[in-house]
């Protein structure tokens, strides 16, 4: 059996521990975890966008995301997931799903977070954003209980966190120019393409800056021929990476495209969960891992390790969400090539502060857990 076949087979086992979180808890550190019942609080928050956000798929002025608080032994773990309509998720359905398993969560041992994740995955069909919120809250709690930043629980060094891209949504050229000007502190911009006005958008971006760009087509190119034409045109404009040129289900044309373009092509909409990574490996140069889509940080970590084993580039991405989900994803960013963690920067009423960006680089909080603080203005 080849390595790739082995990984494919292992990945196909639901909840498999092929790449378990390598964490050794000190003896007794979690001994009290079973002592008291936890309290689980769920809520939906409306996040207001600074700019109307447009991609190939949708346009909106706000997003509703789902929050979980896990309180036990005087410690509160916080988690967030951004439900995705395409997968029949809503903030309300996320809340209902987790409210239904609250009795289990309130009696679980959060020190056994891998076991808790497996149990939650067994009890909750679908609702990946809801499961992500729970996983983040439990890990935030566990790391706080141990008095360590979450990235250290994963064995990672905050110094290794990369720069994050800043995304420029599809808009009128004058608005695009303003957004690019506002993003002057970010050394790498991500530009949404895939509509008929790509030339206008890129001209507006290039009128403001010569920075390297990555582009995300969000499945928007209409044929393999158009994809090649557009990608080569973009490469000539200093674009260094393209995300998801064709619909997620179209793998057949991907290698035809890759043979004809000069920049890496990575999967986003095609890549949801660990089992997708080995399936996509023959067709893409890399994958975009999103915590909200795979069901949490533990699953995202498995995806990253799997992608690495298969020789793929890794991006960690996000949905529009608050600093809770973004700071959570940032905990894994020391492992990736590209971070696209700007979802909190797009909203006007972030209820927390956590990871911050300085000259584009992600600065992870060094406080225990996620290291969040309530935002004074929220
Ligand atoms: Mg994308």
Evaluate whether residue 248 is within a structural domain.
Answer: yes
The parent domain of residue 131 ranges over 7-148
Distance 260 CA to ligand 1 centre (A): 21
pLDDT value of position 277: 98
Q: Number of structural domains, the chain?
A: 2
Residues 272 and 360 in one domain: yes
Residues 68 and 158 in one domain: no
Evaluate whether residue 1 is within a structural domain.
Answer: no
Residue % of the chain over a pLDDT of 70:
89
Condensed to tens digits (0 to 9), the pLDDT of residues 36-91 reads 899 999 999 999 998 776 666 667 889 999 999 999 999 999 999 999 999 999 99
Evaluate whether residue 302 is within a structural domain.
Answer: yes
Condensed to tens digits (0 to 9), the pLDDT of residues 296-341 reads 999 999 999 999 999 999 999 999 999 999 999 999 999 999 999 9
What residues have a C-beta under 5 A from ligand 1, the ion?
216, 243, 268
Question: Cα-flanking dihedrals φ and ψ of residue 166, to 5°?
Answer: -120, 130
Distance 216 CA to ligand 1 centre (A): 5
Distance 145 CA to ligand 1 centre (A): 35
Distance 243 CA to ligand 1 centre (A): 6
Distance 192 CA to ligand 1 centre (A): 8
Condensed to tens digits (0 to 9), the pLDDT of residues 346-376 reads 899 999 999 999 999 999 999 999 999 999 7
Evaluate whether residue 2 is within a structural domain.
Answer: no
Distance 199 CA to ligand 1 centre (A): 19
Q: Looking at the predicted structure, is the pLDDT value of residue 26 above 80?
A: no
CA–CA separation, 280 vs 307, rounded Å? Answer: 10
Beta-strand ranges (E) seen in the chain are: 39-54, 59-72, 75-81, 166-168, 189-192, 213-216, 239-243, 265-267, 286-290, 313-317, 338-339, 352-353, 356-358, 361-363, 373-374
pTM equals 0.90
Evaluate whether residue 264 is within a structural domain.
Answer: yes
Domain-terminating residue out of 109, 132, 148:
148
Distance 57 CA to ligand 1 centre (A): 11
For residue 88, give the CATH number of its domain: 3.30.390.10
Residues 257 and 316 in one domain: yes
Distance 283 CA to ligand 1 centre (A): 16
Distance 179 CA to ligand 1 centre (A): 19
């Amino acid at each position: 059996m080849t390595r790739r076949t082995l990984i494919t087979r292992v990945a196909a086992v639901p909840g498999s521990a092929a790449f378990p979180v390598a964490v050794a808890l000190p003896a007794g550190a979690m001994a009290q975890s079973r002592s008291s019942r936890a309290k689980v609080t769920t809520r939906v928050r409306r996040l207001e966008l600074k700019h109307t956000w447009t991609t190939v798929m949708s346009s909106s002025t706000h997003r509703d995301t789902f929050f979980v608080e896990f309180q036990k032994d005087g410690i509160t773990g916080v988690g967030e997931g951004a439900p995705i309509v395409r997968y029949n998720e809503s903030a309300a359905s996320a809340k209902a799903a987790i409210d239904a398993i609250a009795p289990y969560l309130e009696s679980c041992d959060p020190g056994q977070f891998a076991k808790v994740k497996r149990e939650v995955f067994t009890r909750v069909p679908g609702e990946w954003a809801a499961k992500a919120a729970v996983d983040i809250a439990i890990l935030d709690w566990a790391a706080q209980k141990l008095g360590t930043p979450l990235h250290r629980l994963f064995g990672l060094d905050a110094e290794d966190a990369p720069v994050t891209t800043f995304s420029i949504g599809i808009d009128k050229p004058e608005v695009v120019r303003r957004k690019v000007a506002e993003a002057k502190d970010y050394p790498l911009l991500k530009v949404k393409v895939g509509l008929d006005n790509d030339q206008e958008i890129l001209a507006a971006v290039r009128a403001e800056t010569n920075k390297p760009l990555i582009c995300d087509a969000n499945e928007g190119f209409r044929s393999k021929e158009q994809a090649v034409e557009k990608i080569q045109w973009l490469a000539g404009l200093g674009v260094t990476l393209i995300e998801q040129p064709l619909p997620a289900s179209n793998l057949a044309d991907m290698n035809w495209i890759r043979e004809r373009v000069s920049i890496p092509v990575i999967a986003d909409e095609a890549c949801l969960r660990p089992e997708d990574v080995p399936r996509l490996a023959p067709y893409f140069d890399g994958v975009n891992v999103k915590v909200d889509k795979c069901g949490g940080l533990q699953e995202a970590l498995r995806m990253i390790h799997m992608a690495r084993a298969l020789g793929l580039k890794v991006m960690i991405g996000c949905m529009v969400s608050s600093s809770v989900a973004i700071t959570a994803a940032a905990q894994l960013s020391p492992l990736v090539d590209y971070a696209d963690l700007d979802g909190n920067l797009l909203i006007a009423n972030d209820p927390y502060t956590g990871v911050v960006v300085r000259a584009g680089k992600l600065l992870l909080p060094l406080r225990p857990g996620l290291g969040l603080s309530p935002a004074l203005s929220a």
